[in-house]
A and B are shown apart, each in its own frame.
Chain A
């Protein structure tokens, strides 16, 4: 199957700083990637749909200015958590849309804001 690499797997940052998470499709081109967030003991919730070369589409309730998404190439999408606060601590995971109809997930990133 196709491989999606997410980096970093874990990150600890200070409150007020920004953190960038990368999602790469290693062996296929992904015109669309998805970003999810998982709260402790909860399921995955879609945050946004990232489209190569255009603006991301955010789900209702997700702050666009806090969670900046850039999809600069067919193999890379980035999620930047700006001015992070402890309540942003969570597990973030991306997926990339492959062919013909399957979603491939990255390994996820555990963000801890202290």
Chain B
């Protein structure tokens, strides 16, 4: 079965700083999702990556998928308190099981004003 390793597990930064969260897969990724969650609430979809070398950006968040499709990174530029939360990467199983996601353990981000 596929396993996702997220790092770091937690991150505390000062407002305005840049940060990166990594997600490494034990298998080639069919599709990689990034979500943000406030604990106990639903998932906020950030981005989905499928192609090797793909990079997507939305506002101050950029996600990349490496060429080998086994590692993804999420980069936040000039962080703000509103970026605080739990960031989850999820790997799509693909094939007949597409839509079925395996999640990393999450990264808890705290942004101090």
Q: Please give the residue numbers on chain A whose beta carbons come within 8 Å of chain B beta carbons, in ascending order.
A: 1, 6, 32, 34, 41-46, 49, 91, 93, 95-98, 101-108, 110
Residues from chain A with Cβ under 8 Å of B99 in the complex: 32, 34, 95-98, 101-103
Q: Contact: B106 with A43, CB < 8 Å? A: yes
- What's the nearest-Cβ distance from chain B to residue A97, in Å? 3
Please count how many residues in chain B sit with their CB below 8 Å of the partner chain's CB atoms.
25
Residues from chain B with Cβ under 8 Å of A6 in the complex: 42
Q: Contact: B41 with A107, CB < 8 Å? A: yes
Distance in angstroms between the alpha carbons of A44 and B40 in the assembled complex: 11
Q: Contact: A91 with B40, CB < 8 Å? A: yes
Q: Contact: B50 with A46, CB < 8 Å? A: no
Q: Which residue of B lies closest to A33 (CB)?
A: B99
Chain A's interface: helix, strand, loop or mixed, by majority? strand
A97's partner among B41, B42, B98, B103 (CB-CB below 8 A) is B98
Distance in angstroms between the alpha carbons of A70 and B93 in the assembled complex: 23
Distance in angstroms between the alpha carbons of A108 and B33 in the assembled complex: 18
Give B36-71 as 1s and 0s: 1 = Cβ < 8 Å from A's Cβ atoms. 000111110100101000000000000000000000
Q: Contact: A46 with B98, CB < 8 Å? A: no
| Given A44-B88, A46-B100, A108 and B106 contact (CB-CB distance below 8 Å) | no
Distance in angstroms between the alpha carbons of A40 and B42 in the assembled complex: 14
Residues from chain A with Cβ under 8 Å of B90 in the complex: 44, 103
